[in-house]
Amino acid sequence: MTAKAGDWWKGAVTYQVYPRSFQDSNDDGIGDLPGITSRLPYLAGLGVDAVWLSPVFKSPMKDMGYDVSDYVDIDPVFGTLADFDTLIATAHGLGLKVIIDQVISHSSDQHPFFSESRASRDNPRADWYVWVDPSHDGTPPTNWLSVFGGPGWTWDGRRRQFYMHNFLSSQPDFNYHNPEVQDWALATLRFWLDRGVDGFRFDTVNYYFHDRKLRNNPADWRDPEEPPDNPYDMQDHMFDKNRPENLAWLTRVRALLDDYGAASVGEVGDTHHAIRLMGEYTAPGRLHQCYSFEMFGRKFTPGFFRDRIEGFFNGAPQGWPMWAFANHDVPRQVTRWLPYAVDQDSLAKLCGALLLSFEGSICLWEGEELGQTDTSLAFEELTDPQGIAFWPAPVGRDNTRTPMVWDGSANGGFTTGTPWLPVKPPQLARNVASQEGAQGSVLESYRAMLAFRRAEAGLRQGKTEFLPAPDPVLAFLRGDLLCLFNLGKEPVSLRFDGEGRQTGPAQGFGLSEASLRLDGNGYGFLRITGGRPSSG
């Protein structure tokens, strides 16, 4: 009998945990599963609904676990399967759901399947990865690029063919045109579902299929003022990913999830078609929700946020988004949007209130609830292959992945050993212990906003109606709740025509007669009790 997932995920808030950086329990300088388990009460107390764990599977760690060599075991650096089971049981006991990363578009080159596949052209797994003959002049068969720099193809002397990799050459892509690969991937998901996970976050969910005709990607139709940091962004990736065959595969995934009552979220990595793909991938019978990198840039204007939210729901009225302002791959929100800040704390609290007011589900990146900023790292401190490859351009990811800061002690209470990435004074100053219970702290403002979202049905599932407001004010209705945000540094006064009373968290917000005041980075909420509000 098919189970139903229910709708716990719809409008829920998920907290992303980066296992290497959350809590170290054995003093080796690397976070682990027992460490995460010990900190789950903190997450339950914060008020989130679910925890997303970045990969903890066996891996040579060339891409920090996103290069998997065994999909059904835990890497010893993180613990054991028994530790994983304890984490699941503890989370469930605290009322938290757990979703785990699934990196099944590619594997490590140290996975036994790839070792077998590259051995010959006629072995049982010869067609499990994407192998192609060279062009007549010996060059790769297409112009496809790697996200981490250089061609998306590497020559293998044993098969005398190129294999495809969207990321590192040590991360060969599976061939999803092969039904056996799809069947294996579903069996992998079933293994973790049987262990009690509540769902999956699918890494690079739009990368599973490639164009069988091996057509070259066209150039980006946009005309930037200068080349991007990464040449990968100079192509429109029509043929190395984003293929229509992906839709049928996602229906197979959804059918399995429905059997277990599990939920899903897909990561759509694309600079051209992300909102459209989010809608397609969350149509009925496919994934429950998707998020993209759309809000991970430096734009911070009312029009930008309105365009993304309206664009999604207008294009996919039956779909469901997950919105996020940051994750383990991009600079932190306060660092990116600092030009719009009155001060760091005010901006951090504004970001939390804004994100947690959006229609859809929400994902918070660890440490954002502290107003954390990126860490300034020297070249010799880097571990990220992307950061090393593009140094000194600011495209690395180590800066946002430094350890969670729990207190003001050495290494922030993360470890008594030497942390895998340093904890430096600017990050140490923003720790949990110093903000816990402190009125007006970023942490307490997040807790208040999370409690407000949980209590307000309109914020979790109400439709959004954007209202006219002068820049830099973003104004919209969620049900009978008027949400107002000043995305600039200067105070703004607005005429308010309507009847309402202030409710929920606020910062630099006031209502008197027919006038609203929003200080720089101010925000507030009004319960509309009569008439239709307008502002100007």
- Catalytic residue numbers read 203, 267
- The sheet that has 361-365: what strands, in order across it? 289-292, 263-268, 199-202, 97-102, 50-53, 13-17, 361-365, 322-324
- Partnered with residue 485 across adjacent β-strands are 474, 523
Cis peptide before 392 (omega within 30 of 0): yes
Burial environment of residue 158 by CB neighbours within 10 A (0 to 12, 13 to 18, 19 or more): exposed
Q: Are 428 and 412 in contact (CB under 8 A)?
A: yes
Residues 67 and 73: their CA atoms lie apart, in Å, by: 13
Residue 321: DSSP 8-state: B
Residues 154 and 527: their CA atoms lie apart, in Å, by: 59
SS3 assignment, position 495: strand
CA distances from residue 22 to 94, 200, 210, 255, 366 in whole angstroms, order as listed: 18, 20, 35, 33, 8
Using the Cα atoms of residue 461, residue 466, residue 467 and residue 469 in order, give the sign of their dihedral. Answer: positive
- Partnered with residue 512 across adjacent β-strands are 515
The Cβ-side half-sphere exposure at 207, using a 13 Å CA radius, reads: 28
Alpha carbon 481 to its chain centroid, in Å, reads 27
Residues in the chain: 536
Alpha carbon 280 to its chain centroid, in Å, reads 18
SS3 assignment, position 328: coil
Following DSSP, what letter does each residue of 136-180 receive, concatenated? TTSS-SS--B-TTSSBSEEEETTTTEEEE-SS-TTSPBB-TTSHH
Phi, psi (degrees; rounded to nearest 5) at 261: 70, 30
- 347's torsion region: left (phi>0), alpha (psi -120 to 50) or beta? alpha
CB atoms within 10 A of CB 257: 20
Residue 231: DSSP 8-state: G
Following DSSP, what letter does each residue of 369-436 receive, concatenated? GGT--PPP--GGG---HHHHHTTTSS--SHHHHSPP--SSSGGGGS-SS--SS---HHHHTS-HHHHT
Residues 395 and 338: their CA atoms lie apart, in Å, by: 17
Residues 67 and 167: their CA atoms lie apart, in Å, by: 10
SS3 assignment, position 305: helix
